[in-house]
């Protein structure tokens, strides 16, 4: 089977392009595909979209202003999932000497336990005010197995936050292990003076707060941390 990712982009003026991405292959090869899950930049209103029509080659059409990496999860009818990436390329018409924009807003993946949900909600709001996009399990695709959907989110991130409290679940440890495998920087936020950080993060400097009410202080420290590390540039 020989499937390839193809794209097309047409400039609309005012730094906007209509663009499309699809799979190229024989009818026989395309018929073996059940669906394609596209994960776009988190700033899109619907960053995860599913296409199921082989006659249209699982084509995705969109409008946007900047280049970025698209992630594709190609689900086969056999149950296998093939992970691919494609860098969306946008070109100005000849004669327009402009620099193409790219999506470089900070993106952070945040892992936490459900019990820390209120703290996480407020932390996301505080970071959004600093123009940081925060991805959590709520942004995961329901069309993929949990592990695969989380991996797609992690692969979009410049850095990650691990919220650790006395309520932390084994799922947080599992996600942190994957984050470290992908070499994504981790910023632990430890809630509670006597709370121990995760074993896998003992060598990582943590942001410690007394309780969940210190959320704005935590957000400020996260922002200072990512700026000092120059995680995105």
pLDDT, one tens digit for every residue, the chain (233 residues): 789 999 999 999 888 899 999 999 999 999 999 999 999 988 888 889 999 999 999 999 999 988 888 999 999 999 999 999 999 999 888 766 565 556 666 889 999 999 999 999 999 999 988 888 899 988 888 777 888 888 888 888 888 999 999 988 899 999 999 999 888 889 999 999 899 999 999 989 899 999 999 999 999 998 888 766 544 44
Cβ(109)–Cβ(135) below 8 Å: yes
Helices (H) and strands (E) in the chain, counts: 5, 14
Distance of CA 219 to the CA centre of its chain: 19
Distance of CA 12 to the CA centre of its chain: 27
Locate tokens 């991996």: which residue? 151
Cβ(48)–Cβ(139) below 8 Å: yes
Q: Which two tokens stand for residue 219?
A: 């957000």
| Nearest residue to 56 (alpha-carbon basis) of 75, 30, 74 | 30
Q: Model-level pTM?
A: 0.65
Number of Cβ within 10 Å of residue 87's Cβ equals 11
pLDDT score for 231: 46
For residues 111 and 120, give the distance between their C-alpha atoms in angstroms, rounded to a whole number: 9
pLDDT score for 72: 94
Interior angle at CA 193, CA 196 and CA 231, nearest 5: 70
For residues 85 and 169, give the distance between their C-alpha atoms in angstroms, rounded to a whole number: 31
pLDDT score for 103: 61
For residues 86 and 38, give the distance between their C-alpha atoms in angstroms, rounded to a whole number: 10
Burial class (CB in 10 A: 0-12, 13-18, 19+), 171: middle
| Nearest residue to 133 (alpha-carbon basis) of 40, 17, 16, 18 | 40
Write phi, then psi, for 204 (nearest 5 degrees): -105, 130
pLDDT score for 182: 85
pLDDT score for 229: 56
pLDDT score for 99: 58
Contacts of 108 (CB under 8 A, 6+ apart): 127, 132, 133, 134, 135, 157, 158, 159, 160, 161, 222, 226
CA within 13 Å, CB half, 2: 1
Domains present along the chain, CATH in parentheses: 4-101 (2.60.40.1970), 107-229 (3.40.50.10140)
């Amino acid at each position: 089977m020989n499937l390839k990712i193809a794209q097309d982009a047409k400039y609309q003026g005012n730094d906007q392009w209509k663009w499309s991405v699809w799979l190229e292959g024989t009818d026989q090869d395309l018929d073996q595909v059940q669906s394609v899950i596209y994960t776009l930049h988190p700033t899109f209103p619907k960053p995860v979209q599913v296409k199921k029509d082989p006659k249209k080659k699982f084509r995705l059409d969109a409008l946007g202003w900047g280049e970025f990496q698209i992630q594709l999860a190609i689900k086969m009818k056999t149950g296998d999932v093939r992970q691919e990436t494609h860098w969306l390329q946008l070109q100005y018409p000849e004669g327009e000497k402009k620099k193409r924009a790219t999506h470089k807003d900070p993106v952070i993946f945040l892992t936490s336990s459900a019990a820390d949900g209120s703290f996480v909600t407020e932390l996301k709001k505080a970071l959004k005010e600093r123009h940081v996009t925060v991805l959590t399990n709520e942004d995961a695709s329901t069309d993929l197995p949990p592990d695969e959907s989380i991996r797609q989110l992690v692969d979009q991130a410049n850095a990650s936050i691990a919220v650790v409290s006395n309520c932390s679940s084994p799922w947080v440890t599992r996600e942190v292990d994957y984050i470290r495998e992908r070499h994504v920087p981790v910023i632990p936020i430890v809630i509670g003076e006597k709370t121990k950080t995760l074993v896998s993060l003992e060598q990582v400097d943590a942001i410690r707060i007394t309780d969940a009410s210190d959320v704005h202080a935590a957000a400020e420290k996260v922002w200072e941390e990512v700026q000092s590390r120059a995680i995105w540039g």
